[in-house]
Amino acid sequence: MQFINGKDSLVVDAIDGLLRSSGGAKLARLDGYPGIKVVLRTDHKPGRVAIVAGGGSGHEPAHASFVGKGMLTAAVCGEVFASPSIDAVFAAIMAVTGKGGCLVIFKNYTGDRLNFGLAVERARALGKKVEVVIVKDDIALPDIPQPRGIAGVMFVEKVAGHYAEQGADLRTVAAMARKAADDLVSLGISLSSCTLPGIGREDRIPDGKAELGLGLHGEPGVDLVNFEGARQAALVLVDRLFAAAKPARSYALLVNNLGSTTALEMNLLTNEVLASRRGAKIKLVLGPAMLVSSLDMHGFSLSLLPLTPDFEKALLSPAGPLVWPPIRTHVKPKLVKLPREMKSKPARASSNRSLSALVSRACDILIAAEGRLNALDAKVGDGDTGSTVATAARHLQAALPLMPLARLDRFFAATSEALSRSMGGSSGVLLAIFFSAASQSASGGASWQSSLSAGLARMMAYGGAKPGDRTMIDAIAPALGALSRGLGEAAKAARAGADATARMQSARAGRSSYVSASHLEGIADPGAEAVATLLEGLANGWVVPAS
């Protein structure tokens, strides 16, 4: 399913949405829907060269979003993956071409060559000065007589737009754009095809495979290759691009999102390219960004342009279309030293046999309860409470010989640090806060019972939960209240609190707050159950020492 009204109105609806939200971008469209779909500048000076580009829709933001100062004068939009009509291209040329003439840029597909070509000839027959640049940067099939044009067209449009904005004549603008088009190389790879509006997706790429050298219109890739991760995919493209590119001292790189690749993935892929052995040759970077997409294809493409001083100046010059990320220089990540507090030496280990035995026993109890707590959590959460507390218990148990056990405040502080590093999720952070606050209280001379109560107060303040909210606090709070009467009483209070959570109709904090009451009924909160299980286990065979 897709958010469309219908295939027939999809492109015109999208163009109008673009224009309605464009603010002061000085954009308009030619009257002539639905056959003529042209977005153009309203501030173009007729004495300057006009830049017209376009093609089928489905590659957004290309090309309508690149109409603006320093880029395109007009963009001609076809239906999804279909070339614009001859009349649409002709209308665009005639609408924006003045004394300065017009440069028409399009990608090397048969429909575009024919439709753009005939429109250009009609305009020339009427006395318009029009030059043509055809982009054919795809190196997927190196021996094909007519390579496809893909995302590298962005570099060509930027170079042409720069020289047109500077007032260069048509011959110069066309020559610079043509040189960029001739020097460009691009290649793409994808883990999926795209979803055609109203038709669906062809799931032709099996798990563990990727299509290398696929087309922008969902055409199958040239090769079906093993997918071994982001690094391998990035390096395959980098190696092939540099092998095909003209030698140069430095290059500009475009990292283009083909549609549905997440920003996290795109940044990772960019890092793999720039950190590779070829990365040092890349001086300028455009992206990572979605510039020439293929609807929702899960893939990316790379484009390389050998840099000259003229190209570098053109690429770095300002441009004002709706969607144009700044081209930046490739720099290595800078490092800032950690704060001194992060480098503080750990407290010196000290012994306390009684405390060591207590902590070790507590860890054993939680490790043994891992499976039962996971099963309980699976009913109201994501099924990992047991694994979370067991992982922390294993880490704490292993760290015991290195911990400062002789002083309670330092032990609490060390426990906080251990939990913050080993226990995932919000529960780990909350317990780390609990023991950190307890440490601060104990260092001020408070008893261990008072220190734990101070930890609970801070935990509730930061976590936003209180007794009755169906969290671990429903077991911790009554247990601390009963602790002065002995560990057995504290365990009973924790058990009563944990059992009470099964009767609570809703959770007001924690992951269970996202679960409906019908799914919570009769199920105890896993965190509260972990606390009750721990205290019950400790109560069997351990006596609370005198404070």
Q: Which residues are catalytic?
A: 217
Separation CA 448–CA 503 (nearest Å): 32
Residues 215, 81: contact at Cβ < 8 Å?
no
What tokens does 44 get?
Answer: 């173009």
Task: Name the residue type at position 114.
Answer: L
Separation CA 50–CA 61 (nearest Å): 20
Separation CA 374–CA 386 (nearest Å): 5
Residues 122, 139: contact at Cβ < 8 Å?
no
**What is the full DSSP assignment across 391-433?**
HHHHHHHHHGGGSB-SSHHHHHHHHHHHHHHH--HHHHHHHHH
Cis peptide bond prior to 288, omega within 30° of 0: yes
Residues 101, 129: contact at Cβ < 8 Å?
yes
533: closest CA among 350, 366, 415?
366
Separation CA 539–CA 492 (nearest Å): 9
Separation CA 501–CA 499 (nearest Å): 5
Separation CA 15–CA 273 (nearest Å): 34
**What is the full DSSP assignment across 141-203?**
STT-SSPPP-TTHHHHHHHHHHHHHTT--HHHHHHHHHHHHHH-EEEEEESS--EETTTEE--
CA distances 331 to 109, 198, 376, Å, are 36, 44, 49
219: closest CA among 168, 295, 319, 288?
295
Crossing angle of helices 86-96 and 110-125, in 10° steps, is 50
| Conformation bin of residue 9: beta by default, left when phi > 0, alpha when psi is -120 to 50 | alpha
CA distances 288 to 18, 232, 270, 300, 482, Å, are 22, 18, 7, 9, 58
What tokens does 306 get?
Answer: 């050998």
DSSP helix/strand/coil, 77: strand
